Chains A and B, each alone.
Chain A
Amino acid sequence: MSDTNTWIRIAYCRDIPLREGRAVKVGHREIALFNLGERFLAVDNKCPHRGGPLADGIVSGTTVVCPLHAWKLSLETGKGVSGPSESSCVETFRTRVEGGIVFLQLSDHRRESEARPGPELPVLCVQNCGISSMRLYPSAADA
């Protein structure tokens, strides 16, 4: 599947504990997937600093702190948010949740959304994964 706009079924929500991340091998890439309670966010599992595994970092709000040298990166934009990390950036990926499963799109979430912001649609609560309400990314046409 070379089409990066395809939604890939990644993992059951319940397998990623609340406010933790897990590494997922998607094809040749390793992606860090985080459970933020109300949504899941995904970034490349490689810190732009020294390649630290971001999935192993502590989540602070919507940022993650790399376990190696404490670089802080936004899980929404991929941008560094403090000190030396500020000019760096990590690739982000679109996610959505359906039926207790997290889906992911390999295209770059950030670039995509700049180019073509899709409407956000609410979906129902999914049990057992700490999700109370959920927004669906991006447009319904993709699904």
Chain B
Amino acid sequence: MERLVVVGNGMAGVACVEQILRHSPKFDITMFGDETHVNYNRILLSSVLAGEKSDDDIVLNGLNWYQKNNIDLRLGVRIVGVNAQAKTVTGDDGSVTSFDKLLLATGSVPLIPSIEEVKKEGVFVFRNLDDTRALLERCRPGLKAVVIGGGLLGLEAARGLQVQGCDVTVVHLMEWLMERQLDVAGGGYLAAKMNQMGITVLLGLSTTAILGNGKVEGVQFKGGGSIPADLVVIAAGIRPNVGLGHEAGLEVKRGIVVNDYMETSNPDIFAVGECVQHNGICYGLVAPLMEQGKVLAATITGNKGPKYQGSVPASKLKIMGVDVFSAGEIGDKLDGSEVIRYEDPALGIYRKLTLKGGKLAGVILVGDTADSHRYMDWLRTQQDLAPLRRQLLFPAPTEDAGIDIAQIADSETVCGCMGVTKGTIIEAIHDKGVNTLAQLKECTRASTGCGSCSGLCQSLLKAVVPEFEEEVKKTICKCIAFSEDQLRDILRSQQLKSVQEVLEIYGNGIGCEICKPALSYMLDMLWCGDHDEDRSARFINDRVHANIQKDGTFSVVPRIRGGVTSPDELRRIADVADKYQVRMVKITGSQRIDLLGVKKSDLPKVWADLGMPSGQAYTKGVRMVKTCVGTDFCRFGVQDSTSAGIELERRFENLFTPHKVKMGAVGCPRNCAEATVKDIGLIGQEGSWQVVVGGAAGKKVRKADLLVTVETTEQALEAAALFFQYYREGANYLERTYDFVERVGIERVRKETVYAPDASKQALLERLRKSKEHSVDAWLERDTPRNPTQFVQIKPLEEVFA
């Protein structure tokens, strides 16, 4: 058996070996990796930094894969020498290994611009898993992080650091972000999105020095300006790692030069991936190296024939909520090219196609990349677009997704990263019994790169495997085909301010009892009263501010903040109960008093006689704060929970929420007012408060998660406010906090509330303040009803004796 030595245990090396193994088991394979990890998905490092994925999640080939294929894996060994005559490689551990065939897959190394005093504590690169771990170790909420480089990697690193709570600035040398993938307009849209997320972007700035004494304190720019920094990430690009190519005496330019068969200038030495140069181009993306690997595998196994003819460069920014896709040539100055553009500043959508000779030469998509697959295919196939001229920017609408899938040819690539065609996927489903996305990934490698084709893969599975259940797109109801997330975006960007308007433009024009109240809530939350409240779109409880009972009468619960009342209030309640012959007076589970069996027409009079504000017991809104007697009377109390609870109720009362919000405040961990099973709870302890969220004691019982522990009452109230507004803005209608917290994950909730950058926190609080300012006690409608018949039963205009 021939001995094959592979230097480089990254995505290119391993993918190429996988292809070689498909051809024949003729090699005795040894693989060297200078990292100590098995092959992982480098593209997803930004997801690890953002906390969306763990180290294990991104492993592509576990140890068992190497064992199964009899590969001698040497991790943590860097090859430092190649002797092409003796056919040996030398490791930094002193080992000498001989080979018959050598495969160099050494990838690339970070490009470090010439910056003075770059070697300081707190300066990082972002290239491999160890870099990522080091960054995670270092970053803390509130740290000032500066990312040098506004390319794909830099932006993804910036978002990751921001999610970890850092206050992030991106410094970019060029005049616009991602200048290799975007034009100036596209870059502008991207910068606006980054700014919206709270990341500062500084353009056209050359970093000259890292400031600080041994430890980073700031970065300095050409011209003298500087900004403070506790942490610096250099993501200024990569260059092919070609040292061993030189050692081996290969022809090396920018990268190791290979021909169409992936041969180097030495017949026994091959190279693949980011370290090679083909036809003058070095690729830094995953799809080309997969294509190269296939060709190389054929050549090296004696099946020489397939040619590598270069790849269409394509890249996708992987930041949640910032969709950017770019492929092909993007310059404006291609000879004889036509440019087709579409932009919508309010929605943040930018699309630009460059056509050459009636064929697609390049595409830029910002803000909406749903069509990237279609454009990628046009680029690859170079099909004549003349017949599609009117549908270049927007596809002709299809009835449903199923038709779309059927129209994809078997030879069409579904997964661009791994080069998997639709045919391969269908074959795997039919022949190998694949019926889940995980199995499909395992079997074909589809969707294991950037993951953006997972939707398409799921659609294929759904079409071919009858029992496959895909994750359904959550729409509110059948009236509107958008998720609540999308609707909130639409409402905000399109400045829609009435339920009927939304239904007419984005729905079926009719609406139902499910979407109408949901839209009413969204509009109220977004526009804080600065909109046309349409009472007809609200449930009867919200039209008359009382809770309808089975006999059509209503119940009345006045606000009794923190459950603390007075003899005077109690007398008035008793008088009202007598005067209006209330059928039952009931102490509720929320430390309040419920008057049951009130006629609709009596409601305004009852409220007037009570002289108390609405307790919102009838609506999806702020219910109450249940409190214990805290330090005032209790001999165990260590915090003044009664005052804190009353203040909490005051700050949030009269506001609407996705579902009811019940709160609690207790003065010691004995938890007499059950704060640990409330939507928001404050738990007093010696010298501090625990703020807990997402508790439940209803249909479901759930112990609340700890949001944060703080010292002062004011800090506790602020933490509660951050969560409260975050829930108001992010939860789906009728989603209780306990479902919301479970769906989002408490870690993310913490990162985006109490550990969010200061600017984001202030923005949340400001929006809450604005809502609160516009909120009113609904029971004041007793004096100024919405319309003359709001509470009355209509009497016919003429007498009827029927």
Contacts and interface: CB of A to CB of B under 8 A. Distances in A.
Main SS class of interface, B: loop
Interface stretch (A53-61, A113-121, A132-140): A53-61
Contact of A20 (B536, B552, B796, B800): B536
Contacts of A106: 802
A23 B793 contact: yes
A111 interface: no
B802 A15 contact: no
B800 A58 contact: no
Contacts of B537: 19, 58
Contact of B512 (A8, A9, A30, A65): A65
A1 B801 CA distance: 6
Contacts of A72: 513
B552 A9 contact: no
A58 B794 contact: no
B802 A1 contact: yes
B478 to A, nearest CB: 11
A19 B536 contact: yes
B789 A70 contact: no
Contact of B536 (A4, A18, A23, A68): A18
Contacts of A8: 796, 798, 800
Contact of B510 (A27, A51, A61): A61
A24 B801 CA distance: 14
Nearest to A24: B794
Nearest to B551: A51
Contacts of B794: 10-11, 15-16, 22-25, 33
Contacts of A17: 535-536, 786-787
A4 B511 CA distance: 35
A45 to B, nearest CB: 9
B550 interface: yes
Interface in A28-68: 28-30, 33, 50-53, 56-61, 65, 67-68
A2 interface: yes
A10 B793 CA distance: 12
A58 B511 CA distance: 10
B793 A24 contact: yes
Contacts of A24: 793-796
A24 B796 CA distance: 7
B246 to A, nearest CB: 74
A11 to B, nearest CB: 5
A58 B513 contact: yes
A72 B477 CA distance: 15
A101 interface: yes
Count chain A CB atoms within 10 A of each CB in B517, B540, B543, B798 and give the residue with the most.
B540
Interface in B485-523: 510-513, 516-517
Interface residues of A, number: 41
Contacts of B802: 1-2, 4, 26-29, 106
A131 B445 CA distance: 61
A56 B513 contact: no
Contacts, number: 98
A106 to B, nearest CB: 6
A18 B536 CA distance: 7
A28 B539 CA distance: 27
Nearest to A29: B802
B731 to A, nearest CB: 22
Contacts of B793: 22-25, 30
Nearest to B796: A10
A58 B512 CA distance: 7
A37 to B, nearest CB: 10
B540 A22 contact: no
Nearest to B552: A53
B320 interface: no
A60 B789 contact: no
B797 interface: yes
Interface in B514-562: 516-517, 534-540, 543, 548, 550-552
A35 to B, nearest CB: 9
Contact of A60 (B511, B551, B786): B511
A68 to B, nearest CB: 6
B797 A58 contact: no
A50 B548 CA distance: 14
A101 B797 contact: yes
Nearest to A1: B801
A72 B511 CA distance: 13
Nearest to B516: A58
B535 A58 contact: no
Given A2-B802, A16-B789, A58-B512, A26 B548 contact: no
A27 B787 CA distance: 25
B513 A70 contact: yes
Contact of B550 (A4, A19, A50): A50
Nearest to B508: A61
B788 interface: yes
B597 to A, nearest CB: 14
A65 B794 CA distance: 20
B761 to A, nearest CB: 37
Interface in B255-279: none
A9 B796 CA distance: 6
A60 B801 contact: no
Contacts of B796: 8-11, 24-26
A20 B511 CA distance: 14
Contacts of B512: 58, 60, 65
Nearest to B515: A60
Contacts of B536: 17-20, 58-59
A58 B788 contact: no
Nearest to A30: B793
A15 B795 contact: no
Contacts of A30: 793
Contacts of B551: 51
A25 B540 contact: no
Nearest to B517: A58
Nearest to A61: B510
A60 B513 contact: yes
Count chain B CB atoms within 10 A of each CB in A9, A58, A65 and give the residue with the most.
A58
Contacts of B795: 24-25
A4 B552 CA distance: 27
Contact of A67 (B539, B786, B788, B798): B539
B620 to A, nearest CB: 15
A102 to B, nearest CB: 9
Given A15-B788, A56-B540, A65-B513, A27 B797 contact: no
A15 B787 contact: yes
Interface string A59-96: 11100010110101000000000000000000000000
7 closest Cβ pairs, A-B complex: A27-B802, A19-B536, A56-B540, A65-B513, A61-B510, A9-B797, A60-B512
23 contacts: A2-B802, A8-B798, A9-B796, A10-B794, A10-B797, A16-B789, A17-B536, A19-B536, A20-B535, A23-B794, A26-B800, A27-B801, A52-B552, A56-B552, A57-B540, A58-B512, A58-B537, A58-B540, A60-B511, A67-B540, A68-B550, A70-B513, A72-B513
Given A17-B787, A58-B512, 15 more contacts: A9-B796, A10-B794, A19-B537, A20-B536, A24-B795, A26-B800, A51-B551, A52-B552, A58-B517, A58-B537, A58-B540, A67-B539, A67-B548, A72-B513, A106-B802
